[in-house]
Structure 1
Amino acid sequence: MAQALLEGTKLRLVFQTGMDDEGNPILNAKTLSNVKKEASVDQLYQAAHAISGLCNGRLNKVERNDSSEILA
């Protein structure tokens, strides 16, 4: 049976920095690598909001991106 081995976690913050001529939001993203794999959803949410206070734009979305190696 195959197994998945969690290799790394990244935190992606998406900011709305304005609106284009057609009224669509302009989004910019920042990705933070080397996030602790053991971090809980609440911890990541709190960190994202703390970091967003130091950035331009309104925080639009927070994503957690995990990468895993599939072992046979």
Structure 2
Amino acid sequence: MAVIKNSRLSLQFEVGIDDDGLPIYRTKSFNNVKLNATDEQLTNTAQALIGLQQHPAMSIERNNVYSLV
């Protein structure tokens, strides 16, 4: 049975354009997210954090680490 050990919220932002015209991305990660936080709660938190940023958000990800033993 898999048991969740750790959870992280990652937000990716487009911070500019390089010399070749391709977007430049930066990721902000928040470690030690409460393991019982629902995806909806994390989405709401992410939306609040995005509102405080100067760059547009490109993605919101939740990364969980599981123990399989």
What is the root-mean-square deviation in Å for CA atoms of aligned residues? 1.1
Q: Structure 1, unaligned stretches of length 5 or more? A: none
Shift of 1:69: 1.0
Which amino acid in 1 is paired with 2:15?
T
Aligned partner of 2:44 in structure 1 is 46
Q: 2:59 aligns with which of 44, 58, 61?
A: 61
Equivalenced residues, count: 69
Counterparts of 1:31 and 1:69, CA distance in 2: 21
Q: Which whole-Å deviations, capped at 9, do the CAs of 1:13-43 have from their partners, x for residues lacking one?
A: 0000111121211100011011111222211
1:1-72 paired onto structure 2 within 5 Å: 3-71=1-69
Shift of 1:54: 1.9
Which amino acid in 1 is paired with 2:40?
D
Instruction: State the TM-score, normalized to the length of structure 2.
Output: 0.90
Q: Which protein has the bigger strand share?
A: 1
Q: Which runs of 4+ in 1 moved over 3 A?
A: none
